[in-house]
């Protein structure tokens, strides 16, 4: 149940089942620990991950590649790179997941990322799809867009996976590079013409470049594509509890409080706009 809910992306349920196992006195194994850690990584819950790390040590699974790999991934996705590096150094036989987690977690540290890429090749591990996504993201965020394009073109996934081109496009939006961004869009839409996220990124790219005439047509296309689409989810951790929200959400138990707080913040923005008046107090 823990693994099943984790694979389905139902991370909160996966962790609830794992906690129930502990409360009911069941002995956890490396498989359940790994699944719980994967869920924690997706929820970006570092505190829960640290508690699970203690459980890994307590259960004697520090040397287990399944648990250690998931532990490494959890720290990397939470931005705790020193902790991730410590775990990485304790793993004797590093598998694909370990290398990919380290490459993905050192975004911004280009030379170190390239070093891990070289070490992986030296160890005879051929890079897979996730390794290429990490490297394209790494190079793109560092502003090395031409190098990212070159790496992507040489990959076996260039004509198969639009996700790689979307990652490059995302970097182009941040860096306002219209030329490479349009090229990345063309490649992505050639593989998946109805992908909503690519169209949204393209709209953002044109907005960053001030191409307002092109934006109207793209946004009209986006509105048509969004009909019937399920809303995306977002979450936030407050006092050790994860709260999940979606667009037009009316089901949350504190929706009235949330709406009231938004109105208070809106009022503060209006009051402070060109004024020295006091801000509205919290309710």
What is the tens place of the pLDDT at every residue in 74-126? 887 776 778 888 888 888 888 777 887 777 767 557 888 888 888 888 888 88
What pLDDT digit, counting tens, does each position of 7-53 carry? Answer: 877 777 888 889 888 888 888 888 889 889 888 877 656 778 888 89
Q: What is the CA radius of gyration of the chain?
A: 22
Cα–Cα distance list, 7 to 11, 34, 35, 99 (Å): 8, 12, 8, 21
The answer to which of 59-68, 135-144, 183-192, 230-239 has the lowest mean pLDDT is 230-239
Average pLDDT score, the chain:
80
Stated length of the chain: 283
What pLDDT digit, counting tens, does each position of 151-185 carry? Answer: 999 999 999 889 899 989 988 887 889 999 999 99
DSSP-derived secondary structure letter, 91: -
Q: Which CATH class name applies to 159-232?
A: mainly alpha
Residue-level pLDDT at 274:
55
Partnered with residue 234 across adjacent β-strands are 245
Residues 183-193, mean pLDDT to the nearest whole number: 92
Residues 59-77, mean pLDDT to the nearest whole number: 83
Partnered with residue 235 across adjacent β-strands are 244
Could you give the CA distance from residue 8 to residue 89 in angstroms, rounded to a whole number? 31
Which string of b and e fits 97-107 if b means at least 16 CB within 10 Å?
Answer: bbbbbbbbbbb
CB 148 within 8 A of CB 171: yes
Residues 121-141, mean pLDDT to the nearest whole number: 85
Evaluate if residue 239 carries a pLDDT over 90: no
CB 98 within 8 A of CB 74: no
Evaluate if residue 259 carries a pLDDT over 90: no
Residue-level pLDDT at 187:
94
Residue-level pLDDT at 253:
63
Residue-level pLDDT at 258:
79
CB 167 within 8 A of CB 140: yes
Domain boundaries, the chain: 1-122, 159-232
Higher pLDDT residue, 148 or 211?
148
CB 90 within 8 A of CB 62: yes
């Amino acid at each position: 149940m823990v693994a099943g809910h984790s694979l389905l992306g139902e991370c909160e349920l996966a962790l609830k089942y794992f906690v129930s196992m502990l409360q009911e006195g069941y002995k956890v194994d490396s498989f359940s620990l790994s699944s719980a850690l994967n869920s924690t990584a997706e929820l970006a819950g570092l505190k829960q991950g640290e508690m699970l790390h203690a459980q890994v040590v307590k259960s004697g699974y520090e040397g287990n590649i399944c648990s250690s790999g998931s532990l490494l991934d959890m720290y990397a996705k939470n931005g705790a790179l020193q902790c991730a590096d410590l775990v990485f150094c304790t793993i004797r036989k590093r598998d694909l997941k370990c290398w990919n987690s380290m490459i993905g977690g050192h975004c911004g540290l280009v030379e170190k990322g390239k070093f891990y890429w070289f070490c992986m090749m030296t160890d005879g591990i051929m890079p897979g799809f996730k390794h290429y996504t990490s490297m394209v993201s790494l190079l793109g965020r560092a502003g090395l867009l031409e190098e990212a394009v070159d790496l992507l073109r040489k990959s076996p996934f260039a004509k198969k996976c639009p996700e790689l081109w979307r990652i490059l496009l995302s970097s182009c939006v941040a860096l306002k590079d219209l030329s490479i961004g349009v090229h990345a869009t063309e490649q992505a839409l050639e593989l998946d013409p109805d992908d909503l996220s690519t169209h949204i990124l393209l709209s953002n790219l044109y907005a960053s470049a001030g191409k307002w005439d092109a934006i109207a047509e793209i946004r009209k296309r986006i509105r048509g594509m969004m009909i019937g689409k399920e809303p995306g989810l977002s979450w936030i951790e407050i006092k050790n509890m994860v709260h999940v929200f979606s667009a037009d959400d009316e089901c949350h138990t504190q929706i009235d409080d949330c709406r009231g707080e938004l109105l208070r913040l809106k009022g503060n923005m209006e009051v402070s706009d060109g004024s020295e008046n006091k801000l509205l107090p919290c309710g």
